[in-house]
Amino acid sequence: MSISHTRIAFIGGGNMARSLIAGLVADDHDPAALIVREPDADKASRLAAAYGCRIAADDAAALADAEVVVLCVKPQVAPDVCRELGLALPEPPPLVISVMAGVTEAALQRWLGQPVPLVRTMPNTPVMVQSGAIGLHAGPGTSAAQANLAEKVLRAGGLTRWVDDERQLDVVTALSGSGPAYFFLFMEALEQAAIDQGLDADTARLFSIQTALGAARMAMESDDSPATLRERVTSPGGTTERALAAFADGDLTGLVARAVTAARRRAEELSQLLAEEQ
């Protein structure tokens, strides 16, 4: 079923809201059905000019006829924003989707002041180019139809996957939430290694990026695992085998595991700190 006329209110008009609005409009969503509550007047007017969405003067206006509310504010201001929002929620409350990192469902329900159908998500920055990886978890009391609606909204930003346990969103945060930085770091290192060995900077940068893009596309479009694809480009006694041996000597696999573990633990710590906000 199409959601092109579903009334969606975005609370916050920053990069994540802009990205989802851009994706929805590109998917032929009716811009007039998208409403944004953004206190920065300049930012709000730029969104309206770029995508044709409506701008709400206050929370009540944003929520008046909304079927979906997407929370796109910074986690640090979430307690105050949610408390104010809770006062304006209609009855019955609309589906609430949170894209805020580290803010638990229990904390959101407490700050909103009443039970609401809730889907918590963990998108990553490639949502800005509609190529995100987005983890979702449905809170208690959220119907299958509402979960399906949330997924359709988030698909405007990229690939979506559900997790069964909310705590798994901390793993998603460590994998794909922080993950773009890991790949940027690897591209940066690969580029610099090529420059150090005589390749000009422009070529090193373009080839590093294109190689990453090509490998990712092959992995996405192939039925084979990354391990199998790696084996296919590793000729015995060849250059790739020698390079992979150097990675193994440096314990690259172990290093990645430690990095992801560190990111997951920090996500857990931040979630706990935010959950303690009264």
Q: b/e per residue, 115-145, with b = 16+ CB within 10 A?
A: ebbbbbbbbbbbbbebebbbbbbbbeebeee
Residues of the chain with pLDDT under 50: none
Residue 192's CB is within 10 A of a number of other CB atoms, namely 14
Specify the pLDDT at position 244. Answer: 97
For 23, the token pair is 């994706």
Residues 247/256, Cβ–Cβ less than 8 Å: no
Specify the pLDDT at position 211. Answer: 98
The model's pTM is 0.91
Residues 101/78, Cβ–Cβ less than 8 Å: no
In sequence order, the 6+-apart residues with CB closer than 8 A to the CB of 95 are 67, 68, 69, 116, 117, 118, 119, 142, 146, 149, 150
Specify the pLDDT at position 276. Answer: 76
| pLDDT, tens only, 14-54 | 999 999 999 999 999 999 999 999 999 999 999 999 999 99
For 96, the token pair is 């609430």
Nearest to 129 by CA among 204, 180, 175: 180
Specify the pLDDT at position 278. Answer: 59
**DSSP H stretches of helix in 102-143:** 105-112
Specify the pLDDT at position 271. Answer: 86
For 46, the token pair is 């730029």
One-letter identity of residue 272: Q
